[in-house]
Structure 1
Amino acid sequence: MPTFGWQDNESPHAQFIRGVDWSATAIGAPETWPQQLHQMIDLILLDPTPSAVMWGDSLTMVYNDGFVEFAGEKHPKLMGGTPMVSYAEVWEAQFAPIIKLGREEGKATRHKDVPLFLKRHGYLEEVFVDYTFIPLTGNNKEVVGFYHTAVETTDQNLARRRTQTLIDIGNHAGIARDMRQYWNAVLKGFENNIWDVPYAIAYEFHNDKERDSESYNGSENRSNSRTRSNRSASFSESVSSSGRITIPRACSLAGVIGKPMTHVPLILNVSIEEEGFHQVVKKAISSGEPVRLEIAHEKTPEWLKSNAQGRAFEEPIRHAVVMPIRPTTRNDTEGLNAIGFVVIGLNPRRSYDDDYQRYTRLWSQQLATSAASVVLLEQENKRQMRLKAQLSINETRFSRFAEMSNVAMWIVNPSGVLIYGNQSWYEQMDVTEGTPGEKGLPAWADCVSDDTRPTLVDAWKSLTGDQIATNFEIRLNPTRATKQSRWVLSSAFPELAEDGSLKAIWGCNTDISHQKLAEELKEQRLLDVLEAKRQSESFIDTVSHEMRNPLSAILQCADGVNTSIMEARQSSEDPDHTDIDREGLDYIVESTQTIILCAQHQKRIINDILTLSKLDARLLEVAPTEVDPVETVKHALRLYQQECQNADVETAIRINQSYDALAIDRVLVDPSRLLQVLINLLGNAIKFTQLQEQRMITITVGASLESPAMLSDGEQYFFPRASKKEPVFGAEWGTGEELFLHFSVNDTGVGLTSAEMKNLFHRFSQASPKTHVTYGGSGLGLFICKELAELQGGRIGVSSTPGKGSDFKFYVKARRATTPPKRELPDRTNTATNSRKQSQSPHGGQKTPEDKDKLRVTHPSYIAPLNRSHSASQNPVVGSPSDANTLHVLIVEDNLINQKVMAQQLKKAKCEVHVANHGADALFFLEKTTFAKGCGPYATPLSIILMDLEMPVMDGLTCIRRIREWQKQGKLTRPVPVIAVTANARNEQITMAQEAGMDDVVTKPFKISELIPKMHTLIDKIST
């Protein structure tokens, strides 16, 4: 068997760990380490999550390969080091309190999206992390270390923060009515993001004439708002008179945040041919893209080299970005249409990576889009006030400007008829000028997808009814040009006539499809909903299967008992007295025991479902009763006495020394809830032990005055408690001493792997997908055990070894009923009370050879005919009309009770019966029957196969497909009649079985008297 310990692991990271000089660290050489530390290192090496072990008082670190990227330049020095030194920058503020809490109270902590400032790439970096600290306790019950995970969520948090800035820019700039308001809105858009925009300085361009007359004539003494207003007017006049903006040479301050106004020049001349700042501004204006500026560059102006701290962090700003504002880039390769630029400082604790650059470009594009709307609005307002007589000329000039824009611009009248759209608009839409609107909506309403059409309707009501400017997002249907749908952000405002009536609606659209890609994360929520639905359907199928299987056995046993009694009554000569022979009595007794067993199985499932319903409705309460805990355990064993006897499982009760040491007699506890947990755990133990070679279940009872979770013996087996309040003992609990009762159900069953144990104690969950197929169950028992244990102030856990068994432990809180008198304690420590003593077998506990044979027959890997009365030398052609009244049946069924009951019923119906426990055994048997090609004269006769669907090793659907393949390949002499006998009763499941190759489907429960005619009919049909 391969080993996976870290000392045998050949991965590069494991080799690196082994290469560390551990003897020079606080924890010493590996050969001196406790086994628990070795196990934790094995765990983190298998963990795909970045994780580490912090061991000892010095918290010496050992971490996995995923942690290396998170550690950055702290690796490899961090390996074998202490985080108190390596993470000194955040230790006292962040991690020291968590470690203290873990050491003093043993509490595990989890933190989501925690902002940290780590020095791991040569500078103090802002990161966001989801991390956990789980205390590890040793044999002395003290915390010996911590299990630590760290998953970085920086990208998600930064994206959320920067996207909000993009939204703020659009919200503020979208309502600006003129350039003065626009520049105020620009700065307000950046105001809230103090981290990614430590400061922002906005400059607007003006023409040479304005610069000569105003820039150097005492403009420093004017107010900042007055300067912005004049510059805006000059820009608008420049656009109105010439249709384009002159080459920008001088610019004036439009506003600043994050720096004192006195530290920033009011006037700049960027036409100077200098390297550094001036060249960066020119490059940004001409390219239309943000350009990074090195603050430390020798040509950078002194007013940008200030060592003043940013708005969020203490470090001085090392880099800035110059963002141009170009309302249009059409036919403008030199940036002639730029209206200004914004210099923003960059976050000193984040690198200017691709993501940061992408957002600065989006901010710049949003500013340009909003500027285009403002320019358009301002131009039109001035046109109406000052140039009414030249309406046609101004419309031409506007159209020229709009046609140059890469922003889709449009104008519609109040009825929704399109008046004007620029080239970009027609590239987006499939409408023509003059197209009428639909029921008062704009002409392009049909281009909007159905899911965003209500958004358009609401926005149109605001524009036409309330006459309020608005921004809204809509999705456009694919056009003949684009072939795909696109998202646009539409900014629209109403144009009013002199009398206040609505004259037209103006707007522009910006393509925001790239932003919508981020919303695909919402699909994950849908997947979660679908998974919950799948679990619910799986639970319904499982419960149906578990209820129908025993119900079928009950129906058949009851039918058999009734038939036996009726036959005995009919054969009796005395009508008032019925003689039943010994064999008939044994059959009736066995049938009634089977009925009781199946009824108990159904009762457990029903109880689980009812308990779950009460837990969900919070109607389940704890009712204290004075009981003897040991007697409650004995009662649980008595309930399973017959089932243990049938499965040959030995049971024992062991009283721990701690129980006698506290002289516990009677306590106040809820015996029904305690019994329900014990019954569920005992039922599971029997189910997973009954097929093992060694079959032993031991229940251990102990007690303590402190919570067992705080008295760990080195095994981390108690599962964390759900977020519930600690139960409070009321007056009905009396005033006796508080104590904790411990219970352990240990079995020698199949055991569990660490991966399987993670799936336990969850709703509708079992250890693995094969658990229900192989052993049955609803997936609710352990979840209910966990809930009931916690309801009684306790917890539950498990430790297990695959192939050797499992140990389920739980504890509950109780009170002494009364102070017991001093008594002489019986010597029952570590002594077993074997439940088999209460129900000895007929042979005094010794199995006869016949008993052993019966046990071997019930083993899933064993197959043997139950009826050997036929003679192989006189083998008829089974299934022929001459042999139609003699049915040779193969039952393929993994449920041993159903298998046995069905075989007995068919034998009573004069059938020759064989059994198989799964599909693989059935195929092996089929190769030796008269259906097999070249089987010879001594082949086993076979008429028909009755096959279950849910089976281990090979299920019924796989088996029938293999049989039909054999028929096509010529391995069989003729078609094999196969009837599916299953508890899967949904129409989809029945259809699936028929499509797989089943000739007919019979759902449980059923009567043999109903099944046999179906068998004859099918055989006759195939024979002819």
Structure 2
Amino acid sequence: MTEPVAKNKNSIPDFLTYEGQLGELIRNYNWSATPLGPISQWSQSLKTTVNLMLNSANPIWIGWGTDVTFLYNDAYIEILGTEKHTWALGRPVSEVWEEVWDICGPLCKRVFEKGQASTNNDMEFYLKRGDFLEEKYFSFSYSPVFDESGNVGGLFCASYETTDKILSARRNRTLSALAEKSLTEKTIATACAAAAETLGKNPKDVPFAVFYLTNDKGEKAELVQRTGLGKPAESLFPENISLNDKNLREHYLPVAEVITSGKPVIAAVSAPGLLPHGPAGQPVQQVIAKPIMNSSAKTIGAIVFGINPTRKLDEDYHTFFKMAASQVSKAIQNATATENERKRLEELAEIDRAKTTFFSNISHEFRTPLTLMLGPLEDLMHHTPIDSKVRETAETAHRNAMRLLRLVNTLLDFSYMESGRMKAKFTPTDISQFTASLAGNFRAVIEKAGMDFIVDIPALVEAHLDRDMWEKIIFNLLSNAFKYTLKGKISISLSEESGNAVLRVTDTGVGIPQAELSKVFTRFHRIASASGRSFEGSGIGLSMIKEFVLQHNGNIWVESTEGKGSTFTVKIPLFQESSALTLAANVVSANNAVSLQYNHEAETTLQNNENFIEVTEEDNLTATDTILIVDDNKDMRHYLKSIMEKNYKVLLANNGQAALNMSENHDISLIITDLMMPAMDGLTLLKELKNRPRTSLIPVILLTARAGEESKIEGFETGADDYLVKPFSAKELQARIRSQIRIAKARGHIKQELNNLFMQAPMAICVLKGQDFIVEMANDNMLSLWKKDAAAILNKPLLDGLPEAKAQGHGKLLEQVMQTGNEYVDEESPFYNENNGNKERLYIKKWFKLIC
């Protein structure tokens, strides 16, 4: 279908001089067979339009004449497709774009019949370009071209493709929605359902999707969610797929293969009729299956995506599926983490409930034996004639049984608080009289300690209180103030401020470090190394007080300066809601049993304030060994004394610092010390004793209520000679004391024998101890070599008393022997000695050896 053209370029019509493919095709095309006729007969308007089209870099086609004959330029070849290229030239546009003529035809008709232009943005088309319909998007304009007669001679279409833009925006919306959902869903089921719903909103990119997750044993894949599938597809995607039966799993689309391999799989659909159609009614021919991964990068499932049959699976499309599967994995990971955390919290809550139940049950169980202890003890003390020694023992037992009862009651209150069963029962109460009555219980013990007790409680209006809780608030705050105040004053005040009762308890005690202020109401928290009358306590008192205050719809806080004192402030509403009130008599006196418990304990801590009690030689004229007992509990000190005073001289100290001072002034054979004490605890005392030449060989037995293996190890590593856990047998303690004193005496005898041998040796010998190389012994020959008197260097660091030795490198040699344990021998080397400004050079043989 060609018509002859001129042989040389000069004969080519001016409007067809374009040298591209379409320039040549148009020049050589047999236009005589078309409605346009031969080129020589074309109108000038057509020639001008063709010239404009060919020389444009933008995709353009024109349709001319009544049959709308199709012409296009080189840039339009990509839109047309290689299959239609050349074939489409000279044909009616309705044939060229037959598959989309239902859209383009009316627009074209409007141009020719009405001469109206149109602009169309991001229009969707399914173009047949080869063997499939392809989803494409274009923005284009249809413009009329008027001929010489003034009528519409043709249509001018400038267009450009926007497919990439549309697909990218559509897919990004889906991925963004998946990412958003992955952060909000709390269970695996809802995470999969939300992901399926999101994917279902994009049926063009995801005609359908199926989610499979492995069961707990990993032996089968279970269908957990799907979107876009009808009932006929159930044969392709069953509820369960065995992962162990290779023959069976090959019957299904590649779910098992992806799960077992952990790699994506693209598969052809063998029965497309069972699956829903994709865009433009085209059957889905392929699927892509992607693995679902857990947080450990282990495959736990697969998601099968249907592939849009009108789009090629190019790199961008593949990336979309990869990212979608990744977002689904992330959603499942987040949901799994949330579910695990929820299960962990449920388990912790169950453990907490069991613990609370145990506390409650054990507290009740304690009350029976305590009753059987306290009753007979009270009968013994008040109704039976007994001597003073027995009475003192009975009073000690009764006092500690009462303390145990208070601890049991605290434990019971704690269990109620933990279980949420603690509810305040409010009754109208004269808060001023009631508070003053409670505070009065502490006046005697505070004034006995030599401190002032200031009570500033004016008459206030009647308030709504839970009397038991308010009583414990007052007693705990005053008890704490007394415990940590050794001198000065304690004051309690009550005032009304804006409808609130404001209670303040102020002391001039040790105060609270700034770093600890935020933790004082935290349950089980205890301030390390706090200096007070006693180190005893459970660490739950103030946390329970806070709960009591909160039950009154109030607040509690503390202000403190370390070394100057503290003020605890409680603010509660004077009146509670009427529905919370209960009718009761307006009692203003304290519960005697509770006040006795607190007073007994305060009395004990008051007696603990002694520095030490010394038992003189006259107390036991036959005893030769002295034992120092260190404990912050007076009853424990005197109980231990009663065990040992028949056989030993006994010294008592209530804390580590007092014991350390006593050890320097007495010849002590053995020390028994508690671990947890104010001022200086047992481990610190132990370290100090072992680092001092005078006390380093005194055997130390640690007594503690802490029964853990770690405590024992820490004690032995610090240098303890023995370790005994409370409660203990008196006979066992006596046996251990005898054993340790016997070992200490044997060690002392050996040391003395060795010392005598060294002192009589013909060579210069000294014994150094510890990391500072303390001169423990030096014979006369060594003192003569050093030109030193014994008083000037014994029990002092060698390198301080003999600086010339350090200058000559002896310090490094000693450190080397200490660290390696290897002896050092030098047959002959110079030693420069200085005496009164004179330097003397001696040649000596040196031998350093570690003694364990």
Normalised by the length of structure 2, the TM-score is 0.38
Larger Rg: 2
Query: Which structure exhibits the higher relative contact order, with contacts defined as CA atoms closer than 8 Å and separated by 6 or more residues?
Result: 1
Normalised by the length of structure 1, the TM-score is 0.32
